[in-house]
Amino acid sequence: MSSSKPAPIAIVGGGPCGLTLARLLERAGIDYVVFERDVSPQGTARFQGGTLDLSAEGGQAALNAAGLSAEFEKLARYESSTIFIQDWQGKNQLSEGGGESDRPEIDRLQLRQILLDSIPAHRVRWNKSLSSVERINAKKTQTQSKSSSPADWLLHFNDGSTESGFRLIVGSDGGWSKLRQLITSAKPQYSGKMFIEGCISLDNPEWDAAFKMVGAGNSIAMGNGLSLAVQQMSDRSYRVYMGVEASPEFTRPGGDADVNDMPKARETINRLYSNWAPHLRGFVAGAEGPWRPWLLHRMNQEIYLPDALRNDGKVDEKSWTRTPGVVLLGDAAHVTTPNGEGVNDAMNDAKLLFEHITAELANDAGQVYDAEIDSATLERAIVAYEGQMRPHAYEMIQDSINFEDMMYKEDGPQRMQVLFHSKEEQNEASKKH
C-alpha cells in the first residue's frame, strides 16, 4: 500500500538516548512514536541508577542541539563533579574534577523529565515492552528483493498488541535490546563484576560521615578485589555502589548474597569488606536495602571492527549486518561496563543519527514523497551514522575494560589519576583543533 506522506519512525525505548532522538525529531517536524517498557515516567524510580555526569561534547552537546540547555542548567550540579579517590585502606587520597569542570551531574530521572517535558505526552506509549520482532512480507522480500524494509517488520509487545508499518525502526531499548538480533547475534557478555546498589538517606547514621567525605560530589575507593563508590543525589541522599567480583548467582535466590534475604546478603558483604578501613566499612554496613545488583556486561569489541579487518570473513556472533530500516543507538548498540561515558555516548548517538537523517532528507527536498526513495535515503543516513558510531564503540569498550581492571586494584587511585589527566589533555587538544 503506498502513501503520500511518511509513516512515523518507531523509537523502541524511552531512555536518555531514545528521548533525545524523539525531541530532535519533534523539533524538525518529523513524525515518530516512542514505545517504552516502563508503565509511567516514574515507573522504576527507585532503581533508575544514580546520577549521571554529562560531558560538554556528549550529553550537553546533545541537549544543546535539542534546544534544552537552559532546562539542563537549572538542574545541573556543577558542585557535584568533584570525585574523591582513595584506596581500600583510605590511603593515596586525591580529588579530581570540580570547580570549572565541564561534567556537571544530574539525576537520571531529572534528565528523563526534561526530555519528556519537551515532547507532547501522546508521543510516548508507556507500558509497551517489546517482546519480539517478526518479519512479515517474507515471501515478497525473498522473491523480489534480498533486503528488507522497515514496513516488513511486525513489533510484538508484552501486552499482546502488535505494531507495524513504520518508516524506520530505532532500537534504543538498552543493553538487553530486543531489536539487536536483527543486526547481530552477539549478546552482552558478563564481565565477572557487579555493583550492588544501596542507599544512605538523610536520617541514616552514616549520612554525616558520607557528607564529610564526599560532600556534594562522588567518591571511589578501590583495592583488594573490591570497590566502593558513594555519590550524592539531588535530594542529598547518597547512593552506595559495592563493587564485587562474583558469579551472577551471587546475589540471586540461594546465592551467598541473595538480595531477597537481606540479613544473609549483609553478612556476606560485611565479611568481604571486613579488612577495609573502618570509615569505608561503615558505608557498606549502613547501606539501606533493598539492595539492587547491577551485573556489568559489555559487548564483544570485535563486532565493531570494519568488515575488512575481520580476517575470517564469516557471518557469526562477531558479525554486524546492515538490516535496512533498522538502526541501533546507545546501550542497545554498544553496552559497556561503566566508564562514565555510557549516557554521553548514547545521547551523542541520537544527535549523530539525527544529523545524518536531516542531511540526507535535505538532498531529497522538493521531491514528491516516495516510500522506496525515502527508505534508500534513510539507509544512507544509517550507514553514515554507523561509520562513526562503530569505531567509537570499539574504543569505548577498550576504555571500559581498562577502567574495570583499575577499579578493583590497589594501584587504582594512581592509575585513575593518570587516566583523568590524559583525558584532560585529550580534551584540551581537541578544543585547539
Q: In the sheet that 32-35 helps form, which strands lie side by side, from edge to edge?
A: 124-125, 32-35, 9-12, 168-171, 326-328
Nearer to ligand FAD, 7 or 179 (CB): 179
Query: From the CB of 43, what's the least distance to ligand FAD, in Å?
Result: 7
Q: Find the shortest distance in angstroms from Cβ 72 to ligand FAD.
A: 15
Nearest CB to ligand FAD, comparing residues 6 and 340:
340
Nearest approach, Cβ of 376 to ligand FAD (angstroms)? 27
CB of residue 314 to ligand FAD, shortest distance in Å:
29
Contact 116, 19 (CB under 8 A): yes
Using the minimum distance from each CB to ligand FAD, give the nearer residue, 151 or 296: 296
Q: Which residues bind ligand FAD (CB under 6 A)?
A: 12-18, 35-38, 49, 52-53, 128-130, 172-174, 178, 195, 294, 330-332, 338, 340-344, 346
| E strand spans, 145-272 | 153-157, 162-164, 168-171, 189-200, 218-223, 226-232, 238-245
Q: Pick between residue 36 and residue 404 the one whose CB is nearest to ligand FAD.
A: 36
In the complex with ligand FAD, the residue whose CB is nearer, 17 or 30, is: 17
Q: Residue 77 gets which letter from DSSP?
A: B
Q: How far is the CB of 357 from ligand FAD (least distance, A)?
A: 18
At 226, phi and psi to the nearest 5? Answer: -135, 165
Rounded least distance, CB 12 to ligand FAD, Å: 5
> Using an 8 Å Cβ cutoff, are 60 and 105 in contact?
no
Closer to ligand FAD at the Cβ: 330 or 374?
A: 330
Distances (CA, A) of 195 to 31, 42, 204, 227, 251: 39, 23, 21, 9, 10
Residues in contact with 60: Cβ distance below 8 Å, sequence separation at least 6, in sequence order: 54, 69, 72, 102
Contacts of 370 by beta carbon, 8 Å cutoff, 6+ apart: none
Up-side HSE of residue 202: CA atoms within 13 Å toward CB?
Answer: 4
Q: Least Å distance between CB 247 and ligand FAD? A: 18
**Alpha helix ranges (H) inside 37-131:** 59-65, 69-75, 108-117
Nearer to ligand FAD (CB atom), residue 195 or residue 276: 195
